[in-house]
């Protein structure tokens, strides 16, 4: 049904663009779709329009996404609020579109509180109870921190610029808030969701934030929960394997010393294997 709706909307938009003497460019379709999304009343039409936008927005040029940033992001933010408890696929499309718009913004735009407001909207869903939505949000956060336009090399031959994404500390603070004792004691599932995201994004954090998060991971590992401890080992392994420039040799050395205190009992083969794998990555 949604595919039929998508084809009908696409045909209608093509007709409108042609009538106005347009040449059916990605920009024209993007602007027409945004107008449709703002004005459409039926949920089925809105879902189809969002699915089309999600398919095409990656082809829209960065200058256009910058020029139309605030109004586009505001529309998407309003839709996030509207569908926060609704159908998973719709939310996934909105989160994906918003992440593309955010990745196109220049470094200076991240100094504005409005940009962070849109980023926070995605961040909120990284611990969502529905796996589809949670994974989409976690993927979006990772793609923004590593794949924003100013984080990528200007050409294939050039090296990536050595800068830290302004959103990285925001994510670090979000994670630290979830490490509070009252959260850890009452909601282990939430903690596991945060650790899952950290395995992807921790290496992008500034040095002080990596140190702070590492200290929190070590303190969490003192709990008797094997699943939490295993996930902490995996998070450290991902950090060491990333060979991130934000990770100093001094901190790695201190973490190696600290992790010796967490050597599992020899009889626990799986935990010993996890521990050795982490220590190997740390030494390398």
What separation in angstroms does the CA of 257 have from each of 47, 69, 225, 261? 53, 47, 22, 7
Please tell me the distance from the alpha carbon of residue 263 to that of residue 276, in angstroms, as a whole number.
Answer: 9
Please tell me the distance from the alpha carbon of residue 22 to that of residue 28, in angstroms, as a whole number.
Answer: 7
pLDDT in tens, 202-240: 999 999 999 999 999 999 988 768 888 999 999 999 999
Q: Are 234 and 199 in contact (CB under 8 A)?
A: yes
Q: Residue 189: enclosing H or E segment and its boundaries?
A: helix 188-201
Q: Enter the pTM of the model.
A: 0.92
- DSSP letter (8 states) at residue 166: T
Q: Are 80 and 91 in contact (CB under 8 A)?
A: yes
Please tell me the distance from the alpha carbon of residue 174 to that of residue 261, in angstroms, as a whole number.
Answer: 28
User: For every one of its 284 residues, what pLDDT tens digit does the chain have, with 9 covering 90 and above?
Assistant: 788 888 988 898 888 888 888 788 889 999 999 999 988 888 888 899 999 999 999 999 999 999 999 999 999 999 999 888 877 788 999 999 999 999 999 999 999 999 999 999 999 999 999 999 999 999 999 999 999 999 988 877 777 778 999 999 999 999 999 988 877 777 888 999 999 999 999 999 999 999 999 999 999 988 768 888 999 999 999 999 998 889 999 999 999 999 999 998 888 888 899 999 999 999 99
Q: What angle do CA 277, 278, 279 make, to 5 degrees?
A: 95
Please tell me the distance from the alpha carbon of residue 103 to that of residue 20, in angstroms, as a whole number.
Answer: 31
Nearest to 3 by CA among 51, 37, 56: 51
């Amino acid at each position: 049904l949604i595919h039929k709706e998508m084809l009908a909307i696409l045909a209608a938009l093509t007709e409108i663009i042609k009538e106005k003497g347009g040449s059916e460019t990605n920009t024209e379709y993007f602007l027409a779709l945004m107008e449709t999304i703002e004005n459409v009343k039926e949920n089925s039409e809105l879902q189809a329009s969002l699915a089309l936008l999600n398919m095409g927005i990656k082809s829209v040029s960065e200058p256009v996404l910058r020029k139309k940033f605030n109004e586009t992001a505001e529309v998407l933010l309003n839709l996030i609020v509207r569908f926060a408890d609704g159908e998973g696929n719709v939310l996934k499309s909105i989160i994906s579109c918003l992440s593309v718009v955010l990745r196109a913004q220049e470094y200076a735009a991240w100094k504005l509180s409005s940009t962070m407001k849109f980023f926070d909207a995605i961040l909120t869903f990284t611990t969502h109870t529905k796996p589809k939505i949670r994974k989409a949000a976690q993927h979006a956060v990772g793609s923004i921190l590593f794949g924003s336009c100013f984080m990528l090399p200007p050409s294939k031959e050039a090296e990536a610029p050595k800068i830290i994404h302004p959103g990285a500390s925001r994510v670090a603070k979000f994670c630290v808030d979830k490490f509070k004792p009252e959260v850890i004691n009452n909601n282990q599932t939430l903690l596991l969701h945060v650790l899952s995201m950290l395995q992807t994004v921790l290496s992008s954090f500034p040095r002080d934030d990596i140190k702070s998060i590492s200290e929190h991971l070590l303190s969490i590992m003192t709990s008797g929960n094997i699943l939490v401890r295993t996930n902490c080992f995996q998070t450290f392994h991902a950090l060491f394997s990333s060979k991130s420039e934000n990770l100093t040799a001094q901190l790695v050395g201190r973490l190696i010393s600290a992790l010796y205190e967490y050597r599992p009992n020899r009889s626990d083969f799986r935990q010993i294997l996890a521990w050795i794998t982490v220590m190997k990555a740390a030494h390398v």
